[in-house]
Chains A and B, each alone.
Chain A
């Protein structure tokens, strides 16, 4: 259902020491779109190997306050969410970025290499 567009940019710094993920979510439609965040985490990010094994997830080991948070995207409005994979191992991966919302998936994938 979600008319929200998601795109995920992955930036690997020069010496491969850090990987930055930037998830941009935009309401490309003409009507406002309401989403409800499940908790105090806005977006989650994960890194998968070519074999599909998850090697890192932003939310692992973190606690989130369990109150819902509704939010509205006006037509044309966008929001940016960022996270960092601090100690990457060299290799080929797929990054996943997704909003932690109750509504249909708002998610993007991007392949990258360290």
Chain B
């Protein structure tokens, strides 16, 4: 990560200047309100159910926000009702949904330099003819700027799963108000033309699921709904450049990923930026249903920030990655978020070539290039697109 030359404006965007409050949380999530049916505090929870459990949740809830195909609900219930629900045989789990940051800073953008997306070349994506045409990739993120010149015509469906519990004006479905999702989408599938950048799978159709707020923070329920949507829509691959801080994640997230994987969606997720550390990959990257992706740099060194340990299945470039930005521009970003879409794009190429989900995952890992790093750091090795596509 380049450290120098940040403009003051960039700092102001990042952290808020002076004594301006950045507002990390408003308490909206963990306590939706203090006016439950019994007059006590209420809490929004994610509830996993068995047959018959839905009635019990509905009876206890002041509001049912959402139901899921993987036998779960998001509901606001009186806090006093939680122990009773948890004790029921027809309730599998009750998890308080996380808060979200509803206000705050935009991302800091690196300064634009005329740098080619080295990662696309490093993984060999420019050495293959395959474009991924016909494959469908869901980007569950901050949205995608579908008007970006390098993504124009590439973005199919647009959804927003950010729930009604987030205050502020709702963005039009799928619209990116952060930049993170647009950057990810460009690495997956920016158009192969004369300008800008090119993605790993420049013929793929990307679909936007806005599950994170403008600040880039999200609730479990919104991410789970995004993953469920991918399964409902029958998309081939879904990109999850997000991480929780819990190794096992929540039951809801695990269930959502299992649901989508069983229905043929290849799930690719970031390993996390919490390095140097050992055994520190969290969900969804650590889940057995996802391909967890660590980050390397232009010299094939493992990025110092890349989380290591069980859960890292493969690695891809994630330092100073150049891709599409809001406002028809381009920018460099670093993170396992940036490594992940390289693998997502490669998965899309394999799906478009007719490989089923299991075979796609197998080929990605089996053909990865040995760059001489520990399994804990890079898993099977560095993504190798030509090798994965070889007959």
Chain A residues within 8 Å of B, Cβ to Cβ: 17-18, 22, 24, 34, 36-43, 45, 57-74, 77-87, 102
Contact = CB atoms under 8 A, between A and B. Distances in A.
Given A39-B335, A71-B14, A71-B15, A65 B25 contact: no
Given A70-B1, A78-B18, A60 B107 contact: no
Interface in B33-50: 34, 41, 43
Given A40-B216, A61-B97, A81-B24, 6 more contacts: A22-B21, A39-B243, A61-B250, A66-B243, A67-B333, A84-B27
A67 B341 CA distance: 12
Contact of A67 (B96, B98, B107): B107
Interface of B: 1-4, 6, 8, 10-11, 14-27, 30-31, 34, 41, 43, 79, 95-101, 104-105, 107-108, 110, 141-142, 178, 180, 183, 211-212, 215-220, 223, 241-246, 250, 270, 272-274, 304-305, 333-338, 340
Contact of B337 (A59, A60, A67, A85): A67
Which residue among A17, A65, A68, A81 has the maximum number of chain B CB atoms within 10 Å of its CB? A65
Contact of A84 (B20, B26, B110, B337): B26
A57 B30 CA distance: 12
B246 A66 contact: no
Contacts, number: 185
The SS class assigned to the B binding surface is loop
A58 B104 CA distance: 15
A58 B270 contact: no
Nearest to A62: B98
Contacts of A43: 24
B241 A66 contact: yes
A77 B220 contact: no
A38 B217 contact: no
B217 A68 contact: no
Nearest to A79: B15
Contacts of B180: 40, 65, 67
Contact of B15 (A17, A42, A67): A42
B335 A68 contact: yes
B98 A60 contact: yes
B67 to A, nearest CB: 20
Given A38-B274, A40-B215, A64 B242 contact: yes
Contacts of A65: 141-142, 178, 180, 212, 216-217, 241-242, 335, 337
